[in-house]
Structure 1
């Protein structure tokens, strides 16, 4: 696991634990209060809840989900910018390289790759630098770079899958804690509690589950979209790697 991955996972764990502690403390603090925070009147019920009311009702868990949604949007924008075939596997550049290698111009191909930064150029550079040691070394170098480049793309989009998995669980946690909080309040009431009062607390507790799904569903949809892009890029890289390996192995020494 890379250092970047560990930092990201560590941040999520810290946010999660902080939210768990804060909401748990809130439940204990509000145990002896009345039911007003959990009751919506009829007019509010007819009009529904605004986004602000949902955030307020969801408490600290909704803040965590909002933060995770910002992270998800950041990864979505990042992958839209990065996962461009014309940048990672440019067709014209690749065709020019293959032509040079077919003509035995290894040095020209190497010099051209030094001016570019994409998957194909990195593959060619790795193969040319190892070809003097033998065909096997050149092939292994090309395959290693190809795996590394494609693996990095998979790593970038995997964060969206993680968010799509974790967000509903955090939302469910908020619902469970909210219901515990609502029942704690009711437990301290001396008068008979009407079912409608309990329903008000439960309805607000369910807000966090909805919030988790609102974050998770778009994250999973975009993950599926980016997954298709990575598979397409991976297939191109595999095809070009095979051709480039063969051409580099056929180069004569000194060219």
Structure 2
């Protein structure tokens, strides 16, 4: 078991050593992408997200029972994005529809950028890793042909193999980083879009609920 682990470590070390300096640049970029991804995953999954339909049903029961303060307390018990937006509308429940809408819009404009924060960096990281992989490929090929041109016939094959190894290793790692970060970006973007769509949907439903209730009274 230890021999297999040691062999794997040696293989990875040889892989990075054979790829040259751009391998470490790509690895650093990957680490930054993973750090951003983890931070966004925990924020979007455990802080900003909530079951919008269930939450709205609970608020609706309070509003229909004329217990606006109870509905506000329910919103205050969560730090998610949707409750924050709906709470601002409930606080203006006795105001005009325009004032309620303005309060909801103002809070949504404050919350939504926090939901989308740093997601564009992941897309940039995926693109940059691909470009650094290509840059490493070009560097490896240039070194190969330069070394082959100046070397004696006995060393040409070895120098050419070393240069091509550097070119292929950086290409492989650059594409690996790009693919993984793009997949994570797609997943996190869908989470972000779900939260924003629920804010739009249930804000309209709350407006309709408060307006209808006020007309009946």
Relative distance call for 1:143 and 1:116 in structure 2 (3 A) is: same
Residues 109-124 of structure 1: pairs in structure 2 closer than 5 A: 109-124=71-86
The answer to whether structure 1 residue 100 and structure 2 residue 62 are counterparts is yes
Q: Is the 8 A contact 1:55 1:62 kept in 2?
A: yes
TM-score, normalising length: structure 1: 0.67
Structure 2's unaligned 5+ residue stretches are 1-9
Task: Select which of 191, 203, 214 maps to 2:165.
Answer: 203
For residue 8 of structure 1, what is the aligned residue in structure 2? Answer: none
Q: Which is worse superposed, 134-143 or 180-189? A: 180-189
Task: Select which of 58, 82, 106 maps to 2:19.
Answer: 58
TM-superposed deviation, 1:139: 0.8
TM-superposed deviation, 1:250: 5.0
Residues 223-242 of structure 1: pairs in structure 2 closer than 5 A: 223-242=185-204
- Which SS does the other structure have where 1:241 is aligned? helix
TM-score, normalising length: structure 2: 0.76
* Structure 1: distance between partners of 2:103 and 2:161: 64
Taking only aligned residues, the RMSD between alpha carbons, in angstroms, comes to 2.9
- Which SS does the other structure have where 2:117 is aligned? helix
Q: Is the 8 A contact 1:154 1:230 kept in 2?
A: yes
* Structure 1: distance between partners of 2:46 and 2:198: 9
Q: Aligned residue pairs: how many?
A: 203
* Structure 1: distance between partners of 2:13 and 2:157: 26
Relative distance call for 1:57 and 1:66 in structure 2 (3 A) is: same
Residues 134-153 of structure 1: pairs in structure 2 closer than 5 A: 134-153=96-115
